[in-house]
Amino acid sequence: MKLISSNILQQIITIRPANSYKGTFGRLLAIGGNINYGGAIIMTSSAAVHAGAGLVTCACHPANLTALHTIVPEAMFLDYQDQTGLSNSIQQADVIVIGPGLGNDQLAAKLLLTVLQRITKQQQLIIDGSALTILSQHREWYKLLPPQTILTPHQMEWQRLSDIKISEQNNIEQNLKMQQTLGATVVLKKNGTVIYHYDQTVTKLAIGGPYMATGGMGDTLAGIIAAFLAQFKQAATNQVIDAAVYCHSAIAKQLAENNYVVLPSAIINALPQFMRQVITDA
């Protein structure tokens, strides 16, 4: 198991080419945000925009439209009940995130199945939040997960998916076995997040802390991972994921020097400056 070092940021976050445009940095589709959890998918979308994704579409319950456009007008809106619109957006996306604030009803399960059935090998998929719980309730869908899937469970979500009790989740071999069964990358989020990569390499985060224990922190991470995958296409996927996970906690750590709690929205706001500083320091 290898610790993720701060060098990963300089390796992945590079100067943008002059002859680029928004399409260069990826089309991202974020699906989630039911009527109760709109904030979750808005944080995911906003994190993705602030982390540099070229074009972000947020597919959610229409009750969240005004809030979405107020908080992050750079993001486009799609009603997640609009089947034709969703079909088109799925087809056009480079990266899809599904789950933050999606909820656990019939529509939510239908949306997850639609994504699993339509996703192609060229697209990246991040499954987070409610979509992980839905997946754990439909284990026959595990075989539908394409190899480029990234699952981002917290410990309870990992227990639901794997039947590995939280008290046993320090057992790397057991987690790796389940990761192989799923055939995807697993970002097991906790104090000392461990990443079980698709090729069975294991990396560990040594930064971050309890100042991050606020609702929406994982929703924000999902948006950062998605944006990094959407724009840093030249780098190895394992390293891009490690860089995104490191970046999220490195910003939190920096903000915690002057803040008792670090809000997910504070991390989002700090992203562009932090990423610029990485280039200055390189």
- Tokens for 240, please give them: 């891009």
Say whether 248 counts as a known binding-site residue: no
Residue 65: burial class (beta carbons within 10 Å; 0-12, 13-18, 19+): middle
Q: Residue 208: which of Mg ion, ligand NAX, ligand ADP, none does it interact with, CB under 5 to 8 A by kind?
A: ligand ADP
**Smallest distance from ligand ADP to CB 37, Å:** 9
**Smallest distance from Mg ion to CB 157, Å:** 7
129 is a contact residue toward Mg ion (CB under 5 A): yes
Which H or E element spans position 107? helix 106-118
Applying the rule CB under 6 A, the residues between 133 and 152 that interact with ligand NAX are 133
CB atoms within 10 A of CB 146: 14
Size of the site for ligand NAX (CB under 6 A): 20
253 is a contact residue toward ligand ADP (CB under 6 A): no
Exposure letters 16-40 (e unless 16+ CB within 10 A, then b): eeeeeeeeebbbbbbbbbbeebbbb
Decide if 93 contacts 29 (C-beta within 8 A).
yes
Say whether 189 counts as a known binding-site residue: yes
Say whether 99 counts as a known binding-site residue: no
CB atoms within 10 A of CB 49: 24
Q: Residue 282: which of ligand ADP, ligand NAX, Mg ion, none does it interact with, CB under 5 to 8 A by kind?
A: none
Q: Tell me the longest C-alpha to C-alpha distance in the chain.
A: 51
130 is a contact residue toward ligand NAX (CB under 6 A): yes
Beta bridge partners, 222, equal: none
Among 20-28, 74-82, 167-175, 213-221, the segment contacting ligand NAX (CB under 6 A) = 213-221
Of 64, 60, 52, 59, the C-alpha closest to 88 is 59
Say whether 101 counts as a known binding-site residue: yes
Applying the rule CB under 6 A, the residues between 98 and 117 that interact with ligand NAX are 99-102
Give phi and psi for 74, each to the nearest 5: -70, -20
210 is a contact residue toward ligand NAX (CB under 6 A): no
39 is a contact residue toward ligand NAX (CB under 6 A): yes
169 is a contact residue toward ligand NAX (CB under 6 A): no
Cα-based angle 101, 107, 109 (whole degrees, multiple of 5): 75
Say whether 192 counts as a known binding-site residue: yes
Of 214, 204, 195, 205, the C-alpha closest to 256 is 214
Among 18-26, 69-77, 118-126, 129-137, the segment contacting Mg ion (CB under 5 A) = 129-137
Which stretches of the chain bind ligand ADP, using CB under 6 A? 129, 154, 189-191, 193, 208-210, 212-213, 215-219, 221
Which stretches of the chain bind ligand NAX, using CB under 6 A? 37, 39-40, 99-102, 129-130, 133, 154-157, 166, 190, 215-216, 218-219
**Binding-site residues for AMP, please?**
189-193, 218
